Chains A and B, each alone.
Chain A
Amino acid sequence: MAATIRLTVPAGAARPAPPVGPALGQYRLNLMAFCKDFNARTQKYKPDTPMAVTITAFKDNTFEFIVKSPSVTWYLKKAAGIESGSSRPSHVVASSITLKHVYEIAKIKQSDPYCQYMSLESISKSIIGTANSMGIKVVKDLD
């Protein structure tokens, strides 16, 4: 029997305060060990990048966790503030983001260990593709 805890924690900045404190404290997990471990493992990311952490807590108070930088979908949803992706992607536009958003997201993803060899341009193209498939329009400027 286990619990699944999902958190967003800034890279290198885990502290035993909310949300880490209450979420892990609830299951008596070793907060300090988690913070130290998480901070050490996220040293390679730009400081304060929000990392997606999934923790599996076991009945004996031990735990395992996986850390990933948030998915492109996560960033796009946040940037667009949308209620839902469009159900007909190429026809109905649900919301918009700017090229600046795409660039900012691309910069973050480039520090992902698997993306470091990719150019900012190719990462951006991939992000625009994902945005389109979610029905999010990419515009040069807003308002």
Chain B
Amino acid sequence: MSAPLTHFFKHLSYTLLRRRSRLLLHPPYSPLTLFLTASYKAKDPSPSSNTANAKLSSSSASCIPTKAEESFTYPSYLSVHIRCRKDVADMLSEALLCFGASSTTMDEEDTFKNSDEIFIDSIFPEGEDVNLCILHAANSIGLKEIPHYEVKMGEQYDWIKKTQESFHPVEVIEGIWVVPQWRSPPDVQATNIILNPGLAFGTGEHPTTKMCLLLLHRLIKGGELVFDYGTGSGVLAIAALKFGAALSVGIDVDPQAITSARQNAALNDIRPEKMQLHLVPGKTRPSSMDERICGIVEEQESNGMGVISETGKYDVVIANILLNPLLDLADDIVSYAKPGAVIGLSGILSDQLSYIIEQYSPFLEGISVSEIDGWACVSGRKKRNLADS
């Protein structure tokens, strides 16, 4: 960038800052989107900064977007390719994250031989002012020049596909496989749980999923009612049915999880009445005393329809989630189990065990723990004569 332009640029950003009395930068509308084709819909621009930025962009060669005409219906991030000196790359990466970048990636392979330069690939949220961020970042580490960079619309599709390519069939226990939808089961005679996990958790590869599957396999003899608290991809609910349970009920706070679980149930030829799935609100309040006594808890789905689940009804309750919800929702999780039923809890690290055991000791007896690779699974039977808390 030529000297006078740099000066103008600095002045502009100073002006922009002054206009904002709030000190946390709200990104002004990105100048790039003015040059993109109609496939990209503009969001609310702030009129004053728009024109100024537009003028700048037209004279700055490093801002011209490539691949702008690729039309994706829902572009939601910007992919920026930056070239800079190797010796400042680490600092620049960290600085970019301070000023608006969501991620930076440096690949050792990306360097030119005998060159002192390296590429940084950076992701920005849609609507972020990439220009301004790179300027701030470069200035904050004392660079005299703005590094050369290119901006493209981020591709939504590729990375989903790429991660899905990495799933392979997994034999969790002898004779029991979790198989991605697009691969054929290595052993057609085995119990095969077919999954298209989508964006929900639960592919069978994780130690916690494995421990829960082992637990279910040990417990289910036939005819049980199973409750999957935090169902994700539905893998545990489906497995329970395959092992012989009469009914699986799965709940989750993530709509994507419920969608994935429904699809996966269909992939395994499971009828909706055998595997019932409910989307529940994020902040689940424990049911009131009166509701508990009646044995019925009514939960609202996000679309307003009432959903009825029965407490104290299930033979097995399994919750493979995270430490904090396991602690906060202990009352709720335990409420679904019949007295004497087994409750399985996972998604916790071994060093988080003591918190879980402390929280669940009032509810469970015969507590046992299994661990794989630093992950833990706790199980126990619901005490028969629990006083309602």
Q: Would you call B60 an interface residue if the criterion is a C-beta within 8 Å of the partner chain's C-beta atoms?
A: no
Contact B206 A33 (CB under 8 A): yes
Selected interface stretch from B20-28, B40-48, B291-299, B360-368 = B20-28
**Given A16-B163, A18-B102, A85-B140, residue A52 in contact with residue B123 (CB < 8 A):** no
**Given A18-B154, A82-B140, A84-B142, residue A97 in contact with residue B208 (CB < 8 A):** no
Residue-wise interface mask of A (3-31) relative to B, using a CB-CB cutoff of 8 A (1 in contact, 0 not): 11111100010011111111111101111
Contact B163 A25 (CB under 8 A): yes
Q: In chain B between 104 and 128, which residues have their CB closer than 8 angstroms to a CB of chain A?
A: 104-109, 121, 123, 125
Selected interface stretch from B65-73, B174-182, B345-353, B381-389 = B345-353
Counted as pairs of residues, one from A and one from B, with CB atoms less than 8 Å apart, the total is: 153
Q: Across the two chains, which residue of chain A brings its CB closest to B233?
A: A32
Binding site of A, secondary structure by majority: helix, strand, loop or mixed? mixed
Q: Would you call B139 an interface residue if the criterion is a C-beta within 8 Å of the partner chain's C-beta atoms?
A: yes
User: Could you tell me the distance in whole angstroms from the C-beta of A110 to the nearest C-beta in chain B?
Assistant: 18
Tell me how many residues of B have a C-beta within 8 Å of chain A: 58
Please give, as numbers and ranges, the residues of chain A lying within 8 Å of B10 by CB-CB distance.
83
Please give, as numbers and ranges, the residues of chain B lying within 8 Å of A43 by CB-CB distance.
322-324, 352
Q: A21-B163, A79-B24 are in contact. List 9 more A-B contacts (CB 8 A).
A: A18-B76, A18-B123, A21-B160, A22-B77, A23-B105, A25-B162, A26-B159, A36-B201, A77-B99
CB<8 Å pairs between A and B, sample of 25: A1-B109, A4-B105, A6-B97, A8-B97, A8-B102, A16-B163, A18-B125, A19-B77, A22-B103, A22-B155, A25-B162, A26-B105, A26-B159, A29-B163, A32-B197, A32-B205, A40-B348, A43-B352, A77-B98, A81-B24, A81-B136, A82-B136, A83-B140, A101-B23, A143-B21
